[in-house]
Amino acid sequence: MSTSSELNVSSQEKLVTDIKAVITDAEEILHATADQTGEKIASLRARVQERLHAARIRLADAEAVLVAKTRAAAQATDAYVHENPWKAVGVAAGVGFLVGFILGRR
């Protein structure tokens, strides 16, 4: 798996988390203004509710794509390790050596 795809998945996870926070905040605002009356506030609340519903649908789609990409990356890694077990062991040993060396210098 390449580093750019790892960054892409990480940034997508952050985006999903941020969108969830915005949706939660917007729902709290809707609940806080529930006792407000007037045509303008009612219209605004209706629009916000519609947009929140659409955002939830898009968020669910984005999460599904993210899960699918994560599974595909895990399957590709698993397949690579099964096809090249000694390379995988060598890479793991090299990474372990480097981490040990860096931590040993401290």
Across the chain, which has 106 residues, the per-10-residue mean pLDDT values are 57 79 83 79 81 85 87 90 88 91 86
Domains of the chain, residue spans:
3-105
**pLDDT at res. 2:** 47
**pLDDT at res. 9:** 66
**pLDDT at res. 5:** 56
Q: How far apart are CA 51 and CA 55, in angstroms?
A: 6
40-67 burial string, b = 16+ CB within 10 Å, else e?
eeeeeeeeeeeebeeeeeebeeeeeebe
**pLDDT at res. 75:** 93
**pLDDT at res. 96:** 92
**pLDDT at res. 88:** 85
pTM exceeds 0.85, yes or no: no
